[in-house]
Amino acid sequence: MVLKERAQQGNLSPANMFTCRTITAFSKAVNIIEVVVKIFAMRITILYVLLIFAKEDNQSDGFWWACDKAGYRCNIAQTPESALECFLDKHQEIIVIDHRNSRYFDAEDVCRSIRATEPSEHTVILAVVPRTYITNLPFYFMHSWFVFQQFMENNSITACYNELIQIEHGEVRSQFKLRACNAVFTALEHCQEAIEITSEDHVIQSHHDENYSGDNSQSESHSFKCKNRRKDSIDVKSITSQSSDAPSLQTRQYSSMARIHSMTIEAPITKVINIINAAQENSPITVAEALDRVLEILRTTELYSPQLGTKDEDPHTSDLVGGLMTDGLRRLSGNEYMFSKNTNLSHSHLSVPNTINDVPPCIAQLLDNEESWDFNIFELEAVTNKRPLVYLGLKVFGRFGVPEFLNCSEATLRAWLQMIEANYHSSNAYHNSTHAADVLHATAFFLGKERVKGSLDHLDEVAALIAATIHDVDHPGRTNSFLCNAGSELAVLYNDTAVLESHHTALAFQLTVKDSKCNIFKNIDRNHYRTLRQAIIDMVLATEMTKHFEHVNKFVNSINKPMSEGSDCEYAANMKNFPDNQTLIKRMMIKCADVANPCRPLELCIEWAGRISEEYFAQTDEEKRQGLPVVMPVFDRNTCSIPKSQISFIDYFITDMFDAWNAFAHLPVLMQHLANNYKHWKMLDELKCKSLRLPSENNN
């Protein structure tokens, strides 16, 4: 194949012939590049290797014979001077340099002087390092990577051969392709004439100007063929008519890109894409096509969010998704949503139990049932005069040995619980401290499940209970989308990202450490504190709904799937060796605890549905009042069907998540309630009832 460049033609205005067609030419240019790249890749027949060894030994012999075996041309240089001279003459693709001792020359200095020459841009340098060579210094490694790659000394011919072959098929080939691309870009950039790609017998494969397709017989063409492969970079420049011989800016830019590409530090997704690309090469067409679709999906950023069908999209679902899973349209307005600026640090007005043994008998009696899933949190709310979190917290934290773990007194724990509870807004219909107590209850229940207990450490349990307690503190009774739309101070502070969850966590820690009286962390050492804090933050942030599907899918893929393969007991014990898996379990646990309402006994489920609907109605009311976008229009108190909204919520967020969690933690009671409650909402919906109950039941 020959890439032909046309000489200027008389019947064509030469000026800007290329630029005026840039747009159509671009797609063609891409094709041309692909063709040229293939040509270059095929041209690699002989590779040149330079060995720089002060003294010949088993190691240099190893590489010598490896080159022989691979059919590479090999030179050996013994001094830095002769090495440089030889390299400037032959432009070897691979240099192997002895870096085992510095008696004869400093390998790094030699590499740097070679790197300082222009042809070295396309050369891979391999340094033979002693076995004791320290490579785990990230900065040094990154830095030296540009200079050379490392080869752990091994004089076996096989080892040397494998290394060279790998380099040839990896970096060297990419360097060739890159050089081809540089060449084409340079050519295109400087070219003011039409370009054609023809086969050897001048049949046009692709051309840049339709007007020229027919008459190439008159054309005077320059061959783009690399006659002397040793000097092809010069050949490439020769086709750039009117350009000087100096390397163009373009070439420099692409060369620096080449360096980035050859770095080993890459994101996991890059590795995955590379693996798939490699697999595609040798796959049957059907597999390769399937992998293409996989790659397409992998390149999107929203890997875990199901795409809602645009057709029969249920407005309840899309409102919930829009309201809970997006941060809304960012819109600054004068309508600043205000948080309670003064957090409630003083709690003297509260009636305070002195010790856990001191709680009123009616409360103590109620709390006896605290370990049951069917525990009625609303009764506790009533008998504690809206302080369910303090009482349940004292009981549950005691049961899990939290004061012992933290080495804190019960008085400190009590003061802390009171302070946290006081910072929940009693005026919220849903997100008040009863919700926090409910999530704490569910978390404690999950922690009691055999498999959960077996998988987690004591620190995880403590972190989970604290996270549940604080997870919605100072919640304003509005969603993240609302705060973003309203341009609230917090949304601005947290860049519209996980606004509430960030605030709950940050505020809880601020309040805790501010006052030694309620600082439950004051007696633990720094390392414990850091680990605990990290775990708490991770869990509270996991309650953010934009990441819902990500957390659930990761749990299913890392916990559920491997679980079905191994035996049960070895499995849970095994988990303790995998902190990442423990993290996924903790996230799933708090997520499920946070939205466990549809798995509670029917009466509790109905009460919760009423409260959340009321909170959303209030938000819609305020949005209308303030002229803000209404993020969840179905939650309009005049028109909303609560059963429909519950059904959508269960369908979209709950069913799969609890199936997965149940498969791990074994929760038949919850699943039974869930099925039961779902039936209740379905029944109401079929009867076109929009409220929590049938009218006949309303007096219950």
Ligand X SMILES: *[C@@H]1O[C@H](CO)[C@@H](O)[C@H](O)[C@H]1NC(C)=O
Q: Which residues bind ligand X (CB under 6 A)?
A: 154, 156, 158-159, 209-211, 340, 344, 349, 381, 386, 407, 423, 425-426, 429, 432-434, 494-495, 523, 558-559, 562-563, 571, 574-575, 578, 580-581, 611
Per-residue CA distances from 105 to 51, 83, 144 (Å) = 14, 12, 17
Q: How far is the CB of 429 from ligand X (least distance, A)?
A: 4
Of 318 and 407, CB closest to ligand X: 407
The two structure tokens encoding residue 695? 């009218």
Of 68 and 292, CB closest to ligand X: 68
Of 6 and 611, CB closest to ligand X: 611
Tell the residue number behind the tokens 């679709």, with chain if given.
293
The two structure tokens encoding residue 688? 């076109």
Of 425 and 548, CB closest to ligand X: 425
Report the DSSP pairing between strands 2-5 and 195-198: antiparallel
The two structure tokens encoding residue 337? 């949503």
Q: How far is the CB of 34 from ligand X (least distance, A)?
A: 23
Q: How far is the CB of 419 from ligand X (least distance, A)?
A: 11
Of 186 and 418, CB closest to ligand X: 418
Distance (Å, rounded) from C-alpha 595 to C-alpha 577? 29
Of 321 and 612, CB closest to ligand X: 612
Active site residue 431: yes
Residue 457 in marked binding region: no
Identify the CA nearest to 44 among candidates 78, 71, 17: 71
Neighbours of 173 (CB within 10 A): 15
Identify the CA nearest to 689 among candidates 604, 597, 600, 609: 609
538-541 own/partner pairs: CB under 8 Å, 24+ apart: 538/583, 538/586, 538/587, 539/463, 539/464, 539/467, 539/468, 539/471, 539/586, 539/587, 539/589, 539/590, 540/467, 540/470, 540/471, 540/501, 540/504, 540/505, 540/508, 540/590, 541/498, 541/501, 541/502, 541/505
Q: Over 341-364, what HEC string results?
A: CCCCCCCCCCCCCCCHHHCCHHHH
Contacts of 184 (CB under 8 A, 6+ apart): 29, 32, 33, 36
Of 280 and 574, CB closest to ligand X: 574
Identify the CA nearest to 319 among candidates 562, 619, 24: 619
Of 109 and 336, CB closest to ligand X: 336
> Is the CB of residue 417 less than 8 Å from the CB of residue 379?
no
Q: How far is the CB of 687 from ligand X (least distance, A)?
A: 25
> Is the CB of residue 539 less than 8 Å from the CB of residue 504?
no
Residue 255 in marked binding region: no
Of 122, 207, 208, 431, which residue is the catalytic one? 431
Q: How far is the CB of 434 from ligand X (least distance, A)?
A: 4
Residue 374 in marked binding region: no
- Alpha helices (H) in 423-525, listed in sequence order: 433-447, 450-455, 458-470, 480-485, 489-493, 499-514
Of 610 and 629, CB closest to ligand X: 610
Q: How far is the CB of 75 from ligand X (least distance, A)?
A: 24
Distance (Å, rounded) from C-alpha 562 to C-alpha 570? 12
Identify the CA nearest to 398 among candidates 360, 355, 366: 355
Half-sphere exposure of 67 (CA within 13 A, CB side): 21
Residue 666 in marked binding region: no
Residue 432 in marked binding region: yes
Q: Residue 496 in 3-state DSSP?
A: coil
Q: What is the phi/psi pair of residue 155, to 5°?
A: -90, 5
Identify the CA nearest to 658 among candidates 642, 646, 673, 643: 673
Q: Which helix (H) or strand (E) covers residue 4, if one does?
A: strand 2-5
> Is the CB of residue 598 less than 8 Å from the CB of residue 654?
yes
> Is the CB of residue 593 less than 8 Å from the CB of residue 446?
yes
Q: How far is the CB of 350 from ligand X (least distance, A)?
A: 9
Of 316 and 387, CB closest to ligand X: 387
Q: How far is the CB of 411 from ligand X (least distance, A)?
A: 11
> Is the CB of residue 224 less than 8 Å from the CB of residue 5?
yes
Angle between helices 642-649 and 315-325 in degrees, nearest 10:
60
Q: How far is the CB of 627 from ligand X (least distance, A)?
A: 26
Distance (Å, rounded) from C-alpha 308 to C-alpha 321? 9
Q: How far is the CB of 506 from ligand X (least distance, A)?
A: 9
> Is the CB of residue 212 less than 8 Å from the CB of residue 11?
no
Binding-site residue set: 431-435, 471-472, 594, 646
Binding-site residue set for Zn(2+): 435, 471-472, 594
Binding-site residue set for AMP: 431-435, 472, 594, 646
Tell me the catalytic residues. Answer: 431
